[in-house]
């Protein structure tokens, strides 16, 4: 890849961010498409993330993806907001152009497409789902579950007050709040259990899947993708659940963001292969 003064700059912002596979995925697609652009990972720290995000176009970025914990701040920082991002209340993709910050959310679509690929039956009959966590990613998952026909969504979180606002992300589904210590109860009878927290990014904070009383043939989905087979997924498998890793969601939401920026849909399989190669190299 040749880099010049004309090379466009894109990035993923978050904290932590060193684990991100977004750069290897996007740079593979940029290379395949012959686009003169570079994608990097930037750790964004500070007490005023909105101001920092508004400054990104001034330092030369043309767009960025946004991850934990800045998705809600990214939406507030934007002056043009896609209806899906507004409904979810969080943005994971920003486009900078003509002194404007445009906000989008591709997480909901990425979540659904990942499950479509791994477990095509997941939508059948709706029913109950359980989400662990109540941040920006959880908001996107609720919107996707609601659109897929799930009528009950239980959410367990350390801070109960963060759960009530999630109801605005669902048009029909009933959202019920559970204390973090009651997460096994929240998952009782659930067809789908989703880890939407950052627990599992390292071995110091493993998360067991609260799946003892899950529905038969239930699915466990971990939004954490590094390591690819998390403690959450391993524990779910020991309890008889089908495990779906978070890499599919990462790739599919990234493909939608790439299309927003460049007007063309990249090859999702090529992106996943690049990410898996990076993961394999990091773990050997």
**Residue 172, class by beta-carbon neighbours within 10 Å (0-12 exposed, 13-18 middle, 19+ buried)?**
exposed
- Give the residues of the chain that fall short of pLDDT 70: 1, 203, 282-284
Known catalytic membership, residue 71? yes
Look at residue 27 in the predicted model and tell me its pLDDT: 98
pLDDT attached to residue 284:
39
CATH 3.40.50.720 fits 108-245, yes or no: yes
Q: What is the pLDDT, as a whole number, of residue 98?
A: 85
* Cα R_g (the chain), whole angstroms: 18
Whether 8-105+249-283 and 108-245 share one fold: the answer is yes
Among the options 71, 128, 191, 226, which is catalytic? 71
The pLDDT assigned to 282 comes to 56
Question: Is residue 92 a contact partner of residue 136, using CB atoms and an 8 Å limit?
Answer: yes
Q: Is the model's pTM score more than 0.85? A: yes
For the chain, domain boundaries: 8-105+249-283, 108-245
Upstream peptide bond of 107 is cis (omega within 30 degrees of 0): no
Q: Which CATH architecture has domain 8-105+249-283?
A: 3-Layer(aba) Sandwich (3.40)
pLDDT value of position 227 = 87
Separation CA 67–CA 112 (nearest Å): 18
pLDDT, position 264: 96
């Amino acid at each position: 890849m040749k880099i010049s003064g004309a090379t466009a700059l894109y990035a993923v912002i978050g904290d932590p961010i060193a684990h991100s596979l977004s750069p290897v995925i996007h740079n593979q697609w940029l290379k395949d498409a012959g686009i003169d652009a570079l994608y990097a990972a930037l750790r964004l720290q500070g007490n005023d993330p909105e101001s920092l995000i508004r400054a990104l176009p001034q330092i030369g970025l043309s767009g960025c993806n946004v991850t934990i914990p800045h998705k809600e701040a990214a939406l507030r920082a934007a002056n043009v907001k896609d209806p899906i991002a507004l409904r979810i209340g969080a943005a994971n993709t920003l486009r900078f152009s003509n002194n404007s910050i445009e906000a989008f959310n591709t997480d909901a679509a990425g979540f659904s497409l990942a499950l479509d690929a791994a477990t095509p039956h997941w939508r059948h009959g709706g029913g109950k789902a359980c989400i662990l966590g109540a941040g920006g990613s959880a908001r996107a998952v609720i919107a996707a579950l609601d659109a897929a026909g799930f009528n009950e969504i239980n959410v367990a979180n350390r801070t109960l007050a963060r759960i009530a606002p999630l109801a605005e992300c669902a048009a029909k589904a009933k959202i019920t709040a559970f204390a973090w210590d009651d997460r096994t109860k929240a998952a009782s009878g659930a067809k789908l259990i989703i880890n939407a927290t950052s627990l599992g990014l390292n071995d110091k904070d493993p998360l067991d899947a609260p799946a003892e009383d899950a529905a038969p043939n239930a699915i466990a989905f971990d939004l954490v993708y590094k390591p690819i087979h998390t403690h959450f997924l391993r524990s779910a498998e020991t309890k008889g659940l089908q495990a779906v890793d978070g890499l599919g969601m990462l790739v599919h939401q990234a493909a939608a963001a790439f299309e927003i920026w460049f007007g063309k849909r990249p090859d999702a399989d090529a992106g996943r292969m690049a990410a898996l190669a990076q993961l394999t190299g990091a773990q050997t």
